[in-house]
Amino acid sequence: MSKQSELKKLAYLTLRNIKLYFKDKMTFLVSLITPLILLLLFIAFLKSTYQDRLLSITAGFELDQSLIDAFTGGWLFSSVLATSCITVAFCSGMMVIDKINKANVDFIVSPVKKSTLQLSYVLSNLFSTLIIALVLLVIGLIYLAFVGFYITFVDFLLILFNIIITSLFGTILANIIWTFTHSQGVVSGVCTLVSALYGFICGAYMPISMMGQGMQNFVSLLPGTYATVLFRYGFLNGILNEMGKTLPQGMIEGIASSFDVKLSFFGSEVSMPGLVLVITISTIVLLGIFLLINGLKKRKKHKKFANK
Amino acid sequence: MHIIEIKNLKKHFGSTKAVDGISFSVEEGDLFAFLGLNGAGKSTTINILVGVLTKDSGECFVNGFSIDEISKILPSIGIVFQSSVLDKNLSVYDNLKYRAMLYGMSKKEFEENLKFFTEKLELQEIIKKQLNKLSGGQKRKVDIVRALLHKPKILILDEPTTGLDPKTRKLVWDMINKLRRETNLTVLLTTHYMEEASIADNVVIIDSGKIVAEGSPLTLKNKYASDYIKAYKYDEKIFEILDKTNIPYKKDKKSLEIKFKNTEKAKNFLVKYNTLFKDIEIVKGSMDDVFLAVTGKELKEHV
């Protein structure tokens, strides 16, 4: 079978998986639970809590309301994207759903390579996550356009890059786990766990600076934290620059540290390129693990055949 | 030409011998029935043939290729599973399109084949409908189109009519027979319905992973099943003769059923006592009788 033909199969399989995900309303809604929780939390009390915190840091200085609104809005949408890129990736995978519905058997009896099928799951998972993340980004940008827009073109590109790399990270991590399970229970369990926990451990629900030192050290070891901080940087850097016109630099540093625009790794500040590097290398390492697992599984199957 | 050939195939699941050294072959264009109770080893054999399961030992050839080269075999096979494995949330059209493209079909080729089969099976009205909105019979028709869309040489039907009502079952079979006539399609069928097995060119009966009988339905009936004289009008003197000769019989309000080991014996009895009968018929033993004779099990009790 030619490479072109295999690519065509990959394209159709990927399309089929994406279509199935968006047609399954239940799966789709479950994967949006985390951003919805965040939105509710924000409307209920997070917005005022963060406004108060910001005002307490800048006490004695006048701050324009549009800057405050843009800051809290930027913080909300950086949280929404930081969590969604991971939780949607975990909840939008079709691999296990196919195993449960036995659709995978239909693909085994079709002339399509196992690697093509596997890759289609990863790609569709990634594209579904990206579609949702980009829709959330557009909503966020529209909201910020109303309350106060300070995102530069470079920051916007950084946000886009971060959406892609974090979604890829979440997708590969999820697919590594899905490779080992056939159970809907495990999928639901992992999905719920990730949706509930990830927002806390990546610093999306509350700033890392508000956590205890032990917890701060722990989350600084997780690649997801770096993605969150990178999102904060993309959304809030422009606002901080704007604030810098009226507030002293030390105060800006304080705000940046308090709201996770900067991350400290065991006392040393991680630069923006450092953040990019950590999340990129982590994704490459995960990809290597994923390929290794699939390679070993394939070898094991061949060995089984050869021994017959 | 043998389009399917299986030699001494074995498959164990732990200590259970699911398939225990079976050998058989299927001729091109034949309807071949694989008959057995649930758990007899039919589906395991089918799953090995199409690469879903690996064999423990033995050899299998499909369309001239060993199943170790499964990628060369799959384009020539279409399979209908016991229950549908298509995507319930997608439309019939999308389901068929996404599956057809896995066979390297062009869009034009797909549309042509789709038109051919939807017309044959009268699927035009449901083609845009979501799969989970269809009736059981409609779903089965879609399963069959999915299996045939790439025009395979061999159609494997794994208990295709289980759970279907008699009317839908007939519909499915009418369609398969029509396709066989028109395309010389080889059909490998696993079933526990006797009426389906009795129309096959060849039948293999499998029990606990072993082949216990094989041949055409007629050969099997002649070899293993009894024949009956069914008499509707007869002289009462016949009972004296039956009791004296120890020939088994069964009498009800409408008829008298006399059991013979084979047609020859039934014929001889009729010739000898023809004056005692006025309205009779000779009934051949059924595939149920064959199954009972070779396995010692009643098929109906188990399904």
Indicate if the alpha-carbon torsion angle A205, A206, A212, A214 is positive or negative.
positive
A-chain residues within 8 Å CB-CB of B103?
110-111
CA distance B160 to chain A (A): 15
Q: What is the pLDDT of residue A297?
A: 78
| pLDDT tens readout for residues B153-166 | 999 998 887 767 77
> Between B52, B89, B104, which is nearest A109 by CB?
B52
- Spatial neighbors of A262 by CB under 8 A, at least 6 apart, are A229, A253, A256, A269, A270
Residue A275: closest CA among A161, A129, A154: A161
pLDDT at A60: 84
Contact list, B146 vs chain A (CB under 8 Å): 106
Closest CA to B288 of B276, B272, B274, B300: B300
Q: What is the pLDDT of residue A263?
A: 85
Other CB atoms within a 10 A radius of the CB of residue A255 amount to 21
Burial of B44 (0-12, 13-18, 19+ CB in 10 A): buried
Q: Which pLDDT band, with edges at 50, 70 and 90, does B293 fall under?
A: confident
pLDDT digits (tens, 9 = 90+) for A100-127: 888 999 999 999 998 899 899 999 999 9
Residue B301 reports pLDDT greater than 50: no
Give the residue from B188, B133, B123, B202 showing the smallest Cα distance to B156.
B188
Confidence at residue A302, expressed as pLDDT on a 0 to 100 scale: 56
Inform me whether the pLDDT recorded for B268 exceeds 80.
yes
Residues in CB range of A237: below 8 A, 6 or more apart: A152, A155, A261
Give me the residue from A16, A111, A301 closest to B98, CB to CB.
Answer: A16
> Would strands B154-158 and B227-234 be described as parallel, antiparallel, or unpaired?
unpaired
The pLDDT confidence band at residue B300, using thresholds 50, 70 and 90, is low
Task: List, in sequence order, every residue forming a beta bridge with B282; answer none if it has no partner.
Answer: B229
For chain B, what percent of residues have pLDDT higher than 90?
49
pLDDT of residue A307: 47
Can you read off the two tokens belonging to residue A240?
Answer: 């901080």
**Mean pLDDT value across residues B175-180:** 82
Query: Tens digit of pLDDT for each residue in B67-119?
Result: 999 989 999 999 998 888 999 999 999 999 999 999 989 899 999 999 988 88
**Record: fold of B226-283:** Alpha-Beta Plaits (3.30.70)
Q: Give the three-class secondary structure for B21.
A: strand
Residues of A in contact with B158 (CB under 8 A): none
Higher pLDDT, A204 or B130: B130
The whole-number pLDDT of residue B302 equals 44
Phi, psi of A304 (to 5 degrees): -60, -40
Residue of B nearest to A9 (CA): B102
| Overall average pLDDT of the B36-55 stretch | 89
A12 → closest Cβ in B83, B85, B98: B98
B299/B221 Cα distance (integer angstroms):
16
Residue whose C-alpha is closest to residue B268's, from B245, B251, B289: B245
CA A82 to CA A98: how far, in whole Å? 28
- Across B178-183, average pLDDT: 84
What's the pLDDT score for residue A3? 66
Q: Are A257 and A103 in contact (CB under 8 A)?
A: no
How high is the pLDDT of residue A286?
Answer: 94
Mean pLDDT by 10 residues, chain A (308 residues): 79 95 83 78 83 88 88 91 91 86 91 91 94 92 92 95 96 90 82 82 84 87 92 94 91 90 84 93 94 82 52
Distance from the first to the final alpha carbon of chain A: 26
Fold agreement between B2-88+146-220 and B226-283: no
Using a 10 angstrom Cβ sphere, with 0-12 exposed, 13-18 middle and 19 or more buried, the burial of residue B263 is: middle
Check pLDDT > 70 for residue B7.
yes
Any A CB within 8 A of B99 CB: yes
Look at B54 and A23 and tell me if their CB atoms are within 8 Å: no
Cα–Cα distance for residue pair A208/A215, rounded to 1 Å: 8
* Shortest Cα distance, chain B CAs vs residue A242, angstroms: 50
Length of chain B: 303
In whole numbers, what is the pLDDT of chain B averaged over residues?
Answer: 88
Q: Would the CB atoms of B54 and A5 count as touching at under 8 Å?
A: no
Give chain A as a DSSP string: --HHHHHHHHHHHHHHHHHHHHH-HHHHHHHTHHHHHHHHHIIIIIHHHHHHHHHHHTTTS---HHHHHHHHHHHHHHHHHHHHHHHHHHHS--HHHHHHHTHHHHHHTSS--HHHHHHHHHHHHHHHHHHHHHHHHHHHHHHHHHH-----HHHHHHHHHHHHHHHHHHHHHHHHHHHT---HHHHHHHHHHHHHHHHHHTTSSS-GGGS-HHHHHHHTTSHHHHHHHHHHHHHHHHHHHHHTTTS-HHHHHHHHHHTTSSEEETTEEEPHHHHHHHHHHHHHHHHHHHHHHHHHHHHHHHHHHHT-
Question: According to the 3-state scheme, what is the secondary structure of B82-129?
Answer: CCCCCCCCCEHHHHHHHHHHHHCCCHHHHHHHHHHHHHHCCCHHHCCC
Instruction: Give the H/E segment covering residue B290.
Output: helix B287-295
Question: In degrees rounded to 5, what are phi and psi of residue A203?
Answer: 80, 25
Give me the architecture of the B2-88+146-220 domain, per CATH. Answer: 3-Layer(aba) Sandwich (3.40)
Q: B153 CB near a chain A CB, below 8 Å?
A: no
pLDDT given at position A213: 86
Distance CA A136, CA A160 (A): 12
Whether B101 sits inside 8 A of A9 (CB atoms) is: yes
- A110:B85 CB<8 A: no
Backbone angles phi, psi at B12, to 5 degrees: -115, 145
**Where are the domains positioned within chain B?**
2-88+146-220, 226-283
Output B169 or A165, whichever has higher pLDDT: A165
The interface predicted TM-score (ipTM) is: 0.81
Instruction: Using a pLDDT cut of 70, give the percent of chain B over it.
Output: 98
- Count other C-beta atoms under 10 Å from residue B19's C-beta: 27
Q: Burial level of A106, CB count in 10 A (0-12/13-18/19+)?
A: buried
Q: Record the pTM.
A: 0.83
